[in-house]
Structure 1
Amino acid sequence: MLDWLNNFDPSIQALIATLFTWGLTALGASLVFFFKNISKKVLNAMLGFAAGVMIAASFWSLLSPAIEMAEEAGIPSWIPAAIGFLAGGAFLYGVDKLLPHLHRNQPIEEAEGIKTSWQRSILLVLAITLHNIPEGLAVGVAFGAVAANLPSASLAGAVALAIGIGIQNFPEGAAVSIPLRREGFSRFKSFFYGQASGIVEPISGVLGAILVVAMRPILPYALSFAAGAMIYVVVEELIPESQLDSNTDISTIGIMLGFTVMMILDVALG
């Protein structure tokens, strides 16, 4: 597989990888054709697992390579990591305040972002779409880093990141489509909205790859930016949503498992 990917431009590699992650979002959303309901325990475990994957990916696949790249370039290693990480969080903070969206189990009156008359279903999908922006960006930047021929970036590592993001996209797709079905939407409409939440990943992935290839010096900053954006999503949305009910141990176990799976993928493949 790696030899096959090597034949493509980094932007095409990023597109292929993020189409894979989008595909797993759609696969997760397709569970709505088999189930109308999903237990809160299972949903919380899924969200926790997704959070664990994103936390591990933020360090092993993004921050750690960024620090190594800065050292190789003769820059104080903490500068790109700190600046990029905070910038990524600030970017997601701004998007969070502007993009209308609604978190799971909240009344429509508590929708965040710019006030709008959009339907509840659209706002729920946009909340998950917000998660997927930094995920796609992270995959794209990882493939762009490989093109820069830096020792700390490897194609296997970028592929491992894409696999990890794809794995956690599966429960996220289900976390959108099945609740929509429970609210009265048809199975097909619920599936459509669920898979649509992942369409932003190929877009942000290709943009991320093109950006870092065109401007190699920003690579450590771009990797750290993606890490900061992902951690913002985890702390702001995924962990709080997974801890809404009394069974918080289940979501915590999900986080631990997700972190472990992503760590193994990155260390074993990267």
Structure 2
Amino acid sequence: MTLFYIVLATLVGGVLSVVVAASLTVHVLGRVVKHLVSLSAGVLLATSLLHVLPEAFESKVEPHSLFATLLGGLLFFFLLEKAELYRHAHHHEGDGHDHHHHFDEDQAGRGGYSVLVGDSIHNFCDGVIIAAAFLASPQLGITTALAVILHEIPQEVGDTIVLINAGFSRRKALLYNALSGLAAVAGGVVGYFVVGAMEEIFPYLLVVASSSFIYVAVADLIPQMQRRLPWREMAEQVAWIAVGLGVVMLAKALMHSH
């Protein structure tokens, strides 16, 4: 049953994000994505700092080793992004961030296939993370999958817009994004069979998962929100972050009550 839940969680994340991208116009996507970015920041930080990391540190592993793993994970994802293999394409011309004209074309770079490669690697890593969380406990798996799914929606929306501006048709961009999302399922299955045989590394993988969430939130999502805004928009940002925190805390409370 654990493998079934892992496959279901990774599949839902990929399908749901593509469905959202397919069902909304570019103008509406721009308005929705900026709120989802704030929501994702709250969800990722709450999941990593209030749920996943405490689970790892409750193990018998030496804390210094776990902190070293956290540092190594942050540096690893930094280097992956430097190599353009860990993209977070939330930016586009209609997202309200006053990007210059032709920004989408610049983001598309030399071609959309590099976007798909980076996105596939990102999704595969997410699948392994979800598998490790489910193997540690079903409650942790559900919370971690929720964090990944909520983050995948704005990421896949951004990727779809970048692919369209790289010359893909809307249908082809959505199809390729859906295929890229299947990399998460592959990561989940590989994680189940590889990680499942090595229970002693669970705490380390949970810390790596946390480093991924923290890196995305602090290095990508929060900087998008750090700009001068009217008080109303600032209040909306804080409110959506608070909603993200509340979703994780509520989910944790509900699961521990059963």
Q: Could you tell me the TM-score, scaled by structure 2's length?
A: 0.76
How far the C-alpha of 1:200 sits from its partner, in A, is 2.9
Q: CA 1:30/1:89 → structure 2, altered by over 3 Å: closer, same or farther?
A: same
- Listed one character per residue, the Cα deviations across residues 104-127 of structure 1 (whole Å, up to 9, x for unaligned) are 24748976xxxx9731x4455566
Any unmatched runs of 5+ in structure 2? Answer: 93-98
> Matches of 2:121 and 2:163 in 1, distance apart?
17
Q: Partner of 1:141: helix, strand, or coil? A: helix
For 1:233, the equivalent position in structure 2 comes to 216
Structure 2 CA distance, aligned partners of 1:264 and 1:196? 32
Q: C-alpha distance in 2, partners of 1:55/1:262?
A: 10
Between the two proteins, the alignment pairs up a number of residues equal to 242
> In the aligned structure 1, how far is the partner of 2:139 from the partner of 2:34?
31
Residue aligning to 1:62: 52
Match of 1:150 in 2: none
* Alignment of 1:28 onto 2:11: no
Deviation at 1:162, TM superposition (A): 1.9
| Matching residue of 1:14 | 6
Instruction: Note the residue ranges of structure 1 that are not aligned, 5 or more in a row.
Output: 1-7, 146-153
Query: Mean alpha-carbon deviation: is it higher for 12-21 or for 246-255?
Result: 246-255
Normalising by structure 1, what TM-score?
A: 0.73
Deviation of 1:37 (Å): 1.7
Once the two structures are TM-superposed, the CA of residue 132 in structure 1 deviates from its matched residue by 3.8
Separation of aligned partners in 1, 2:186 and 2:72: 20
Q: What is the one-letter code of the residue matched to 2:157?
A: A
1:82 paired residue among 62, 67, 72: 67
Alpha-carbon distance in structure 2 between the residues aligned to 1:52 and 1:144? 24
Distance 1:165 1:62 in 2: 13
Q: Secondary structure, in 3 states, of the residue corresponding to 2:184?
A: helix
Q: 1:102, 1:26 → 2: CA distance?
A: 15
2:255 equivalent in structure 1: 269
Relative to structure 1, the CA distance from residue 230 to residue 52 in structure 2 (aligned partners, 3 Å threshold; closer, same or farther) is same
Calculate the aligned-residue CA RMSD, in Å: 3.3
Find the aligned partners of 1:221 and 1:174 in 2 and give their Cα distance: 31
For residues 268 and 237 of structure 1, what CA distance do their matches in structure 2 show?
Answer: 30
Equivalent residue, structure 2, for 1:149: none
Which AA in structure 2 matches 1:141? A
| Equivalent position of 1:155 in the other structure | 138
Which residue does the alignment assign to 1:140?
A: 131
User: Which one of 142, 153, 172 corresponds to residue 189 of structure 1?
Assistant: 172
| Cα deviation, residue 95, structure 1 | 1.1
Of residues 53, 58, 67, the one that matches 2:43 is 53
Q: 1:219-255 CA deviation, whole Å, 9 max, x = no partner?
A: 1111001101221122121222344674662333322
Paired residues of 2:109 and 2:166 also in contact (CA < 8 A): no
Cα displacement (A) at 1:11: 4.0
2: CA distance, partners of 1:188 / 1:224 = 38
How many angstroms apart in 2 are the aligned matches of 1:102 and 1:167? Answer: 13
Maintained 8 Å contact 2:119/2:180: yes
Q: What is the rounded CA distance, in whole Å, between the counterparts of 2:176 and 2:134 in structure 1?
A: 28
- Residue 170 of structure 1 is matched in structure 2 by 153
Q: Deviations over 1:19-53 (max 9, x none)?
A: 1222222222222xx42323644321111111211
Provide, for residues 60-99 of structure 1, a one-character-per-residue CA deviation record: whole Å limited to 9, x for no partner.
33111101123xxxx44x2343122122212212211223
**Residues in 2 aligned to 1:138 and 1:22: alpha-carbon distance in whole angstroms:** 15
Give me the identity figure in percent.
25
Partner of 2:84 in structure 1? 99
Structure 2: distance between partners of 1:223 and 1:139: 9
Q: Would you identify which runs of 4 or more consecutive aligned residues in structure 1 move more than 6 Å? A: 108-111
